[in-house]
C-alpha cells in the first residue's frame, strides 16, 4: 500500500517531520512517499501563500498518482488545493485539516482548533463551514507565533499551544483539541496526557483515514465538482498541466 | 486488535451478515467480535424499536469492553444508542450511519442515502443534523421495503435500491451513495460498478474508521456529554447497569 | 380531562414534586395522573441514564394511554424518549424541555437555560438543534450541582441557579430564563420576581401546552417518523412491548 | 379570563368568523373580545398591506390591554406587527402564524403550510426563519386564490387547499398541515379527517396557547427587543400613540 | 440622476445631516432629494417606533417615485419598512443597514455593528438573518446612548462608539465596523483612521449602491414577495394609500 | 478613476467581451484596464482550472495596483483567487459572482443562477455559503454547454440559458436571475425583457460596485484573513511573488 503525503510548502525539514509523523501511524506494509513542491512559499500562512503553493503541489500529486499512490494526503491545515487535487486524480485525497476535524467528530461532541497565527483562522473557519463541521467546532484559536517557530529550538511555541488548550477547556468547554498545523505533529501525544483530553494531529489522522479508504476501495467521485478537468489548452508556464487525465 | 461489532437487533442471521462484511474489510490481525443483544426487536425501524434495542446492546458493549475490545461498532444505521455507548466506555464507539456519512464526505461533495422504509428517514435526518453533515447530504431516500426483506430470497429489494440510486443521480445530482441499512452490506460493490459512483456500506466504513482510531490511539473524550455516568442507584431490572465504570 | 405526567426517573419524591407543580397549573377539572417507572435510574444526568429510563417510562405511557390519558408529559428536561413515546401512542406527548423552549419563544426574543450538571448541557443543545429553537437559545448554563441536591435541605443549589441567571442577563443579554430540570419547578415564580424577567418551569409549561393540544383536538401525526411501530417480535425481557398498538 | 383577538384587516365578516373560531376552542369562562382596526386594508396580502394595518391594530391592542385583556392574539398569518405589539403591552401577544407553527412542531416532525396567494409565501418564510422553525417547515404552498375568495359562495378555494395538502403529503412527505390564513379557520377539522393527518388552524392554536400563557402567569419579557418604547414625541396623526406605557 | 433619501423619523435636523452625508458621496450630476414623513416618531428605537414611521415614509416614497426618483434610500438602520417600500414602487429601494452590511461584506471577512441603544440590537440581528449576512456579522454592539444624543453638543456618544470599536477588535476580531445609526454618518472617516480598519456609514453606502443599481438599470423584481399590492379598498385614514400603482 | 478588470483565463476574445461589458456600465471618466494572465487555462470550468489561473492573475493584479488601479474586478464567476487577491493589495477586489449575488439580493427576495457546465455548480454553491448568501439563492442551474460555446456562432447556448430561466421561474419561483459566467455579459438585457424579471450580469454588477467602493473610499480590511502576506521566501518559479507589499 502506497500513500503519498505532500507537504505543500517547500521547507524540507517540515516534510521530514511530517513524514515521520505519517510513518509513526502507518500500518506495517504501508509505504509513505513524502514530497514537497519545488516552487512556492516556505510556509503557508493565509490565502496568498496558499495560491502559490498549489500548482507545484498538484504536480507532485499527479506524479505520485502515476507512481502508484493509492491515496494522497495534503499536509497543510488549510487543506491547500484539496478540491483541485480531487479533480485531478481518482485516488482519494485527504487534507490534514479535514482529517483531524472528522476524527475529532468521532470521539467528542465538540472540539477546538489551536493554530499558529491569527490570519490562518478565517481559512480554517471557511473550511469548517464547507465541510459541514463548523457546528462541531467550538472555536479556532491562534497561539500567536509563526509556523517556522515550531522548528526553532528555544521557541515558546509549545507553551503557547498549551495555554490555548487550557483556555479552550475553560472558556468553550472543548471536549477535544485539534492541533491546527502540520508542524505540531510531534506534540499531540504529550499534550493529550497533559490536558486529559484527546489531542488530534492531522497528519496521523489523515494517514489513518487514507489507509481506511484504500481498504474500503472507495475512490473520489467523478461526478459533480470533481469531474475530471475538461480537455483544453493551458497557456504559458502551466501548459504541461493541461489534460492531467 | 479486537473490534466489537454489535448488531443492535436480535436477528442472528443479520449479525452473521454484518460480521462477514466487517471481516471482509478488516486488516490481517484484526479480530471481529460480533454480537447481538438477547432482548429487543428483531429489526429496528423507527424510534420505538430503537428504544428497546439500546439496553441489551449496552450490555454487549460493556461486556466487550471488559473482554478487551479496543473499539465498538454499532451496526444499525440509526446509530442506535451511540451517545449512551460513548458515555459508558472509554474505547471509541462508531455508528455505521455516522461512519458512512464521514467516508462519503471524504470522497464526494454531496451524497444521498438510500434506506428501507420511509419512517426510518427522520431518524437519519436528525442524526445528520447533529453530526453537522446534513449540508453534505442531498437527500435521504427510502426504497419502500422492510429491513427483513433484504434477507428474503426473491425479494425485489435490490431492484428498488438501484432505482433510488438512479433517481438520486438525476434528481439531486448525488455524487456518492450511502446504503442506509446494515443489511445492505453485501450490495455496495456491485451497485457502485452498476451506477459508476462510490457506494458506501456503513459496516465496512465503520470497521475501517475503527481501525484508524485504534491506530491513532485516540479514545472517546470523557469531558462534556460523554462524562462517565455518575454513581447512582438503578431500580428494578436495570440495577446491574448502574456504575458501568 | 386526564393528563399523564411521567417522571422518567424512579425517585418518588421527585414525582410528587412534579405532580404538585402540574396540579398547580392545571385547570379545574383536569386530572393529573403522575407516575414513574419501576426500573431505571434514580435521576437522569446524561445519555447513559436516559437509555435505561426509557423502557420503563414507555410502559407507563402505554398504560396511561389505555387508562384514558388524553396527553402525556415527559417530566425530564432531556425530553427522555420523546420520539419513541410519540411513535407508541396517538395522544400528544410533550417533553418539559421542549415545552419550556416553546413557551419562552412566545414571550421573549431569546432565552438562556440554567440546568444542573455540565454533562447535561450537550443533550439539551442537541434537542434545541433538532427542535429548530437553537437560534432562540442564547446559551445553556449549568449551575454545577447534581439533580438530587435540589431535594436536599441546606443545599446551595438555589443560590447557584440565581447566580447563573444573573450572569445570563449580563453576558448574553438573555430576555427570559428556562429552568432546565424538573426538580426546579418550585423556584420559577420567586426567581422571576427576583430577576425581573420571565422564568419558565417546564412542568407547568408542558401541562399548559397539553391542555391546549387536548382542547384543539390535535393528535400526534402518524405519518413519517411517528408511524406506529411495525408488527414484529421483540425478544427477551421486552417481548411484552412489541405491537403496542 | 379575557383574551383579545384582533383581526388586523378591516373586514368585519372576517372578524366574526375569527371570533367564532376563537370561541369554539376557548374554555368555559374565557371571554373573547374580537376587534378590527378602523383604518387599513380589507385584507392583508403581502408587505404593503401589512404596513397600513399595523397602526390601527396597535390602537386596538392598547385599548384592549387597558380594558383588562390578559393576552392578545393577532389573527393574521403574517403575524402582522407582532414585535411592535409585544413592545407596547406587557400581556403576552401571540400571532396565529407563530401559534400554528409551534403547535405543529409539537405533534409532527415536519409540516407544510398552505396559504392563499403566492406573494404571501415570502412573508411566512421570513417569519419561520426568525422564529427558528424554518427547519420544521417542509414547504410553504399557495393555493392560488385571494383571501376574500374564502368568504365567497361557490368559490373553489377549498378544493384548491385540499389539492395542495395532497401534494404536500406526496411531494415533501409533510406530516402535518398548517392552514396559512385566518379565513380558513372553519376548514381544519374536515380537512384533517379527509387527509388523515393533523391540520392546524392558527386562530384556535393561538387561543389555546394564550390560555396556556395566562394560566402560567408569564408575560412578555421587557428586556431586549421588547423594551417598552422610549418616551419621545410622535408628530402628526400618530401623536396619540407616543408613550403607550 | 435623482436619488430619494428618506429619513423615516420626523426630526428635520437629522434629515439635514443625512442629506449632507448623501450629497458628500453622490457623484457629480446626482441630485439628492431628502425628505422625512409628517407623521411618526422623532427617532426610531425599537419595533414600536418603527411601526408608526412606516405609513408616512411610504407616502414620501410614493411621491418621490412620481417625481422621478430613480432609487430610494431608507435612512434608518432598522431598514424601516423596506419590504413594503419595495412592493410599492418599481425603482430600487435600499436600506442603509442593508447597504452597510453588503459593503462591509465586500471588503472584510467579518464585521461588527456599533449602534445606540441595546433594544435596537434584536431588530438588526433579525435583519441580518433575513439578508443572509448574519454569518458575516461577528456581533451587534450598543454604545448605550439614545439616538438624539448624537445631535447634542458635549455628549459622550462618540467616545462610547470608539470604545465599542476597540472592544470589537479585541473580543471578536472584527475586521470592519458598521456604524449602526444614520446619525453617526459624520463619524465614519475619523473613526476609520483612529482604529485602522474600515468603518462603514450606511447612508454613504446606500447612496453609492443606489447609483450603482441605477447605472445597471436593474429594478426591484415584481415577482414573489414584492408583487405590487393587489387592488383592494383601504378603510379610514389610509384610504389614499390603496392602489399605489 | 481607474478600475482593473482581470479575466483570469487566457482567452483574449473573452477579455475583449468583458472589457466591453465593463465599459458599457462605467461612468464617464472611469477608465477600465482590462487584462488577462499569460499563463493558465483558456477557460475556467471547475476547481482544477481555477488553481492554475490564479498565479498569473495575481501578477496582473499586483501590476495594476502599482499602475494606480483603485479597484480590481475578477471577471470569472468562480471568483477565482478572490481571497488571495484581497490579501495582496489594499484596493478593493470584487469577484463578479459575488457582485451579482449582492446586487440580486438588493432587488429580489431570492434569485437563481444559470451557469454553463454542471461541474461549475459546486464551486458557486460553496462560494454562496461562504458569502452568507446561500439563503438568498434558490438554485444554481447549468445549461449544459461549455464556456467557449458562448463565443461560437450558431451555438444553442442562448436558447439553453433561456430555458433554464423559464424553469427557474416555474420550479423555484425565482424572483431574479444571475447569469453565472462572464461570457454571458451581453445577454442580460435581452433576457430580462424576454422573461420579465431582473437578469444580472456579474461584470456590470462588479464595475458598478467597484465605482461605489472607490467613491466611498473604503479599502480591503487588513485585519484577519486579509492580513498582508508575511515576509518569507518563495522557492522556484514564484520567487518574484514573495513580499508583494
Question: pLDDT (tens digit, 0 to 9) for every residue of chain E, 245 residues total?
Answer: 999 999 999 999 999 999 999 999 999 999 999 999 999 999 998 899 999 999 999 999 999 999 999 999 999 999 999 999 999 999 999 999 999 999 999 999 999 999 998 888 999 999 999 999 999 999 999 999 887 788 788 889 999 999 999 999 999 999 999 999 888 888 999 999 999 999 999 999 999 999 999 999 999 999 999 999 988 999 988 888 888 86
With 80 as the cut, is the pLDDT of residue F178 above it? yes
The number of residues making up chain D comes to 245
- Looking at residue A150, what is its pLDDT? 81
Quote the mean pLDDT of chain B: 94
Average pLDDT over residues C98-109: 98
pLDDT in tens, B29-77: 999 999 999 999 999 988 999 999 999 999 999 999 999 999 999 999 9
D81: chain E residues, CB-CB within 8 Å:
51
Interface A-F, measured as beta-carbon pairs within 8 A, has a size of 159
Average pLDDT over residues F157-170: 95
Question: Residues 203..232 of B with a Cβ closer than 8 Å to C: which?
Answer: 224-227, 229-230, 232
- Looking at residue D183, what is its pLDDT? 83
The sign one gets for the Cα dihedral D146, D152, D158, D159 is: negative
A227: chain F residues, CB-CB within 8 Å:
46, 118-119
Question: Residue F6: what are its φ and ψ, rounded to 5°?
Answer: -110, 125
**Subunit partners of chain D (3 or more CB pairs within 8 A):** B, C, E, F
Q: What's the Cα-to-Cα distance from A188 to each of A139, A183, A200, C190, rounded to whole Å?
A: 18, 11, 6, 49
F123 neighbors F92 (Cβ within 8 angstroms): no
Average pLDDT over residues A12-31: 95
Angle formed at CA B51 by CA B50 and CA B57, multiple of 5 degrees: 75
Nearest to E180 by CA among E42, E76, E25: E76
F74 neighbors F82 (Cβ within 8 angstroms): yes
Q: How far apart are CA C245 and CA C81, in angstroms?
A: 18
- Looking at residue F243, what is its pLDDT? 81
Nearest chain E residue to C174 by CA: give it: E122
Question: Residue E180: what are its φ and ψ, rounded to 5°?
Answer: -90, 45
Q: Which residue matches cell numbers 399523564?
A: C4
Calculate the dihedral angle through the C-alpha atoms of F35, E105, F25, F55, rounding to the nearest 10 degrees. Answer: 10
Q: How far apart are CA C85 and CA C89, in angstroms?
A: 7
| Of residues E110, E135, E173, nearest to A118 (C-beta) | E173
E174 neighbors E197 (Cβ within 8 angstroms): yes
Q: How far is B55 from chain F (nearest CA, A)?
A: 41
CB atoms E215 and F103 under 8 Å: no
Q: How far apart are CA C177 and CA C199, in angstroms?
A: 5
Q: How far apart are CA D26 and CA D19, in angstroms?
A: 10
How is residue D241 written as a grid cell?
400613540
Mean pLDDT lowest for which of A71-75, B38-42, C116-120, F222-226? C116-120
Radius of gyration of chain D from its Cα atoms, rounded to whole angstroms: 17
D1 CB-contact burial (10 Å; exposed 0-12 / middle 13-18 / buried 19+): middle
pLDDT in tens, C68-90: 999 999 999 999 999 999 999 99
Q: Which residues pair with D178 in a beta bridge?
A: D113, D200
Q: How far is A221 from chain E (nearest CA, A)?
A: 30
A78 neighbors F112 (Cβ within 8 angstroms): no
Q: Mutate which of F52, F56, F89, F144 to disrupt the A interface (most A C-beta within 10 Å)?
A: F52
Q: How far apart are CA E17 and CA B167, in angstroms?
A: 60
With 90 as the cut, is the pLDDT of residue C125 above it? yes
Q: How far is D142 from chain C (nearest CA, A)?
A: 22
Q: How far is A166 from chain E (nearest CA, A)?
A: 18
Who's near D115: CB < 8 A, 6+ residues apart? D77, D121, D124, D140, D141, D142, D143, D180, D181
Q: How far apart are CA B115 and CA B141, in angstroms?
A: 6
Q: What percent of chain B has pLDDT over 70?
A: 100
How many whole angstroms from its chain centre is CA C53? 13
How is residue E191 written as a grid cell?
473613526
Q: How far apart are CA B68 and CA C127, in angstroms?
A: 34
C110: chain E residues, CB-CB within 8 Å:
122
Q: How far apart are CA B6 and CA B58, in angstroms?
A: 9
- Looking at residue A59, what is its pLDDT? 96
What is the value of ipTM here, to two decimals? 0.96
- Looking at residue C244, what is its pLDDT? 83
Mean pLDDT lowest for which of A141-145, B164-168, B204-208, E191-195? A141-145
C228 CB-contact burial (10 Å; exposed 0-12 / middle 13-18 / buried 19+): middle
E158 CB-contact burial (10 Å; exposed 0-12 / middle 13-18 / buried 19+): middle
CB atoms C84 and B118 under 8 Å: no
Q: Which helix (H) or strand (E) holds E97?
A: helix E96-107
Q: How far is C9 from chain B (nearest CA, A)?
A: 9
Per DSSP, helices labelled H in chain D are 12-25, 47-66, 82-88, 96-107, 121-131, 157-171, 188-195, 202-216
B54 neighbors B26 (Cβ within 8 angstroms): no
Q: Which residues pair with D179 in a beta bridge?
A: D114, D201
Nearest chain E residue to F221 by CA: give it: E108
Question: Residue B229: what are its φ and ψ, rounded to 5°?
Answer: -50, 140
Map residue A58 onto helix, strand or coil: helix
List, in sequence order, every beta strand (DSSP E) within B65-160. 71-74, 93-95, 111-115, 137-142
With 90 as the cut, is the pLDDT of residue A71 above it? yes
Strand order in the sheet with F137-142: F137-142, F111-115, F176-179, F199-201
Nearest to C37 by CA among C71, C7, C70, C2: C7
Q: What's the Cα-to-Cα distance from E108 to each of C180, E95, E105, E175, rounded to whole Å?
A: 39, 20, 6, 6
Per DSSP, helices labelled H in F47-156 are 47-66, 82-88, 96-107, 121-131
Q: Which residues pair with D93 in a beta bridge?
A: D72
Question: Residues 89..148 of B with a Cβ closer than 8 Å to C: which?
Answer: 117-119, 121-123, 126, 129-130, 146
The DSSP symbol for E29 reads: T
pLDDT in tens, A81-136: 999 999 999 999 999 999 999 999 999 999 999 999 888 899 999 999 999 999 99
CB atoms D225 and E39 under 8 Å: no
- Looking at residue C24, what is its pLDDT? 96
With 90 as the cut, is the pLDDT of residue B15 above it? yes
Q: How far apart are CA C23 and CA C73, in angstroms?
A: 13
Who's near C151: CB < 8 A, 6+ residues apart? C11, C13, C14, C17, C183
Question: Residues 159..178 of C with a Cβ closer than 8 Å to D: which?
Answer: 169, 173-176
Q: Which residue matches cell numbers 424572483?
A: F175
Q: How far apart are CA C40 and CA B234, in angstroms?
A: 5
Q: How far apart are CA C186 and CA C188, in angstroms?
A: 6
Angle formed at CA D64 by CA D60 and CA D69, multiple of 5 degrees: 145
Q: Mutate which of D172, D173, D175, D176 to disrupt the B interface (most B C-beta within 10 Å)?
A: D173
F105: chain D residues, CB-CB within 8 Å:
none
Q: How far apart are CA D16 and CA D12, in angstroms?
A: 6
Q: Which residue matches cell numbers 465504570?
A: B245
With 90 as the cut, is the pLDDT of residue B145 above it? no
Q: How far apart are CA E103 and CA E210, in angstroms?
A: 12
The DSSP symbol for A218 reads: -
- Is residue D76 very low, low, confident or very high in pLDDT (cuts 50, 70, 90)? very high
Who's near E89: CB < 8 A, 6+ residues apart? E61, E62, E65, E72, E220, E244
Q: Which residues pair with F68 in a beta bridge?
A: none
Quote the mean pLDDT of chain A: 94
With 90 as the cut, is the pLDDT of residue B236 above it? no
- Is residue A145 very low, low, confident or very high in pLDDT (cuts 50, 70, 90)? confident
CB atoms within 10 A of CB F29: 8
Amino acid at each position: 500500500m502506497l500513500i503519498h503525503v505532500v507537504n505543500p510548502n517547500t521547507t524540507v525539514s517540515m516534510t521530514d517531520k511530517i513524514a515521520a509523523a505519517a510513518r509513526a501511524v502507518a500500518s506495517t506494509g504501508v509505504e509513505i512517499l513524502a514530497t514537497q513542491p519545488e516552487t512556492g512559499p516556505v510556509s503557508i500562512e493565509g490565502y496568498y501563500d496558499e495560491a502559490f503553493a498549489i500548482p507545484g503541489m498538484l504536480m507532485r500529486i499527479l506524479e505520485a498518482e502515476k507512481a502508484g499512490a493509492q491515496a494522497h494526503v495534503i499536509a497543510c491545515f488549510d487543506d491547500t488545493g484539496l478540491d483541485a487535487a480531487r479533480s485531478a486524480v481518482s485516488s482519494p485525497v485527504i487534507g490534514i485539516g479535514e482529517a483531524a476535524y472528522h476524527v475529532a467528530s468521532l470521539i467528542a461532541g465538540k472540539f477546538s482548533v489551536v493554530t499558529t497565527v491569527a490570519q490562518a483562522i478565517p481559512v480554517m473557519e471557511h473550511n469548517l463551514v464547507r465541510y459541514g463541521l463548523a457546528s462541531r467546532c467550538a472555536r479556532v484559536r491562534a497561539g500567536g507565533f509563526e509556523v517556522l517557530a515550531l522548528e526553532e529550538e528555544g521557541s515558546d511555541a509549545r507553551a503557547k499551544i498549551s495555554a490555548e488548550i487550557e483556555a479552550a477547556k475553560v472558556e468553550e468547554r472543548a471536549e477535544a483539541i485539534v492541533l491546527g498545523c502540520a508542524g505540531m505533529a510531534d506534540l499531540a501525544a504529550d499534550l493529550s496526557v497533559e490536558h486529559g483530553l484527546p489531542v488530534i494531529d492531522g497528519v496521523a489522522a489523515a494517514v489513518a483515514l487514507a489507509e481506511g479508504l484504500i481498504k474500503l476501495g472507495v475512490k473520489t467521485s467523478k461526478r459533480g465538482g470533481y469531474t475530471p478537468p475538461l480537455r483544453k489548452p493551458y497557456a504559458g508556464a502551466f501548459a504541461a498541466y493541461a489534460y492531467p487525465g
